Structure 1
């Protein structure tokens, strides 16, 4: 039975790569429906796990950031920050200063905040679609809560390793954006919109209501993808999909250790949290696990890509290009992680556990986020006042 379902899934995937994409999606949905009927108890439990993950972890982590960021954009705070960072952003990534703003916000809040902020800026006509694509090459990142807390402390039992992964992840994002700038034509991708200096009467209540409404809708989309992919992962495990794939690769004379890594990467690329957990439980060396986890965190997984696709659906951003960005981000992060491990540029023992509580406390993180925004806004206004005189 499992082999039969495996063959159907592979055949369906081959159809998807041809001109019969629509039919393959229909067949896939029917197959998933069949598996839901065959494994109702397992599907129900995985859906519950997905709901718990979304409601107790994702919503408390992301919803406040989404609401605050939407309000900041409506109040035109990013404009001042954008002007201050414009020279640096143009030099590194060939974007306006909004690129630096999205990058900073994404560092704090993690996936898929970078995509959400970029979509909001495009809808507000602050940036063009082309600039949005360029910004996403370096501003779609995971946050310290997940990398240092969940992966470093929770999965690898060492918060210092979480810092190591976080640094590799961020350096990979910066490298990705810089390389994309080098390999694309220089052209005017900025919006010809004058920055507003007028003092209008701001209806804070109206802005707050709209920000909450939009942010709740976005969180709802994210929850749907988390639940769906939780069920899909469970169904694939129940039909031994990756076990059969591993056996098939071995029969094709692919060395067992390589086939194991291929199956692990494929399984891990479905959903980032589950993927990092799978890799952390491997019997491989710590350095190998670190490199693989670094790739998976930066690639983000198909669940996150699905969430981003939903968020960017109205922006006309090329999703295939975004997936390519995440793939190269993963490669750069893994490469940087490998280099740092080889040359020992980062001594993880220098980090003390007392700093972990500061990074992992959501209240402190939110306060730091707001303080940073306030400081950047004040600095930018001071900077341009000095330039005027």
Structure 2
């Protein structure tokens, strides 16, 4: 079995190398698009929040917030109060900041790995800068559409947390985790800042690497004719237009490319619902980013994958409902 896995890995790498050579022009253009996305959106929207989240953790604010929010977090989501910082930063900073905050909580032993896995299911979300700025204004030329998408996104995240809260309440470790440690080692703001900047820059560079990698993957699949073929079949099977089908397919891999594929379309309920699903799912790029930022804490991300899929579906449903109201 191990030999088969190795053979498949080697074959994949050979095919990938050949694709890079044969589609070098598309690879170059895709890499430029990925770097442009990083420069215009990813770095400006994420880096300040990453630095802030690191400082918040180092000076002990999650413990303070946890003591205040413990009853609410336990009642709604079946987790301890420390998760409040992860949820708040997750819905304001964007992918994968929520996962980074959860990883920090586990690393500092403020929560256990099991609770960290439950938090990942609903605390790692897209932020307002990307949803309102890139999706709403950039794609649909409507700040109102962006606000609707963001509201549905946050509500969907909270809904997923509530739906999965029964699991947390049923476990004994959730009750133990709800009792935050009284003494957490903290440092001064002046001591924390250099480390916060250093680790945050490294994290954002890693995220940009994943964005470029998956943008290139989308470009190669396009150049090879694989995406157009699958897009046609998906459009025929689902009844959706080719543009929406392509956006959904692309968004399965990379959120920026998926949302960008909707550019120029009008903000109809179907188009907005497609955007909501892409934003909720996050793309495989975000999932690999999450694996990277949680690797040190050794958190199982299975719930994160399920949570993102649920969030995408629920967010799309909420958008359709909001379109009926407004």
Query: Normalising by the residue count of structure 2, what TM-score does the alignment of the two structures yield?
Result: 0.90
Hey, what does 2:287 align to over in structure 1?
Answer: 305
The answer to whether the 8 Å contact 1:249/1:259 transfers is no
Structure 2, unmatched stretches of 5+, are none
Question: How far off its partner does 1:45 sit?
Answer: 2.6
The answer to whether the 8 Å contact 1:246/1:259 transfers is no
The count of residues paired between Structure 1 and Structure 2 equals 322
Confirm or deny that 1:289 pairs with 2:271.
yes
Question: How far off its partner does 1:91 sit?
Answer: 0.4
Hey, what does 2:296 align to over in structure 1?
Answer: 314
* CA–CA distance in structure 1, aligned partners of residues 8 and 143 of structure 2: 43
Hey, what does 1:211 align to over in structure 2?
Answer: 196
Question: How far off its partner does 1:134 sit?
Answer: 1.3
Hey, what does 1:147 align to over in structure 2?
Answer: 131
Spell out structure 1 runs of 4+ moving beyond 6 A: none
* CA–CA distance in structure 1, aligned partners of residues 162 and 136 of structure 2: 27
Confirm or deny that 1:230 pairs with 2:215.
yes
* CA–CA distance in structure 1, aligned partners of residues 136 and 152 of structure 2: 13
The answer to whether the 8 Å contact 2:67/2:180 transfers is no
The answer to whether the 8 Å contact 1:268/1:279 transfers is no
* CA–CA distance in structure 2, aligned partners of residues 171 and 20 of structure 1: 44
Pick the structure with greater CA Rg.
Answer: 1
The answer to whether the 8 Å contact 1:148/1:163 transfers is yes
Q: Within 5 Å, which residues of 2 pair with 1:1-389?
A: 20-183=4-167, 185-189=170-174, 190-191=176-177, 194-196=181-183, 202-246=187-231, 255=237, 257=239, 260=242, 264-281=247-264, 286-342=268-324, 344=325, 347=326
* CA–CA distance in structure 1, aligned partners of residues 316 and 233 of structure 2: 27
Query: Over the residues paired in the alignment, what is the CA RMSD in angstroms?
Result: 2.6
* CA–CA distance in structure 1, aligned partners of residues 50 and 134 of structure 2: 21
Query: Normalising by the residue count of structure 1, what TM-score does the alignment of the two structures yield?
Result: 0.76
Question: How far off its partner does 1:256 sit?
Answer: 6.9
After superposition, give the CA deviation of every residue in 1:228-270 in whole Å (9 maximum; x if it has no partner).
Answer: 11211111111121222245669xxx64725956554222221
* CA–CA distance in structure 1, aligned partners of residues 112 and 23 of structure 2: 46
Distance 1:187 1:63, change over 3 A: same
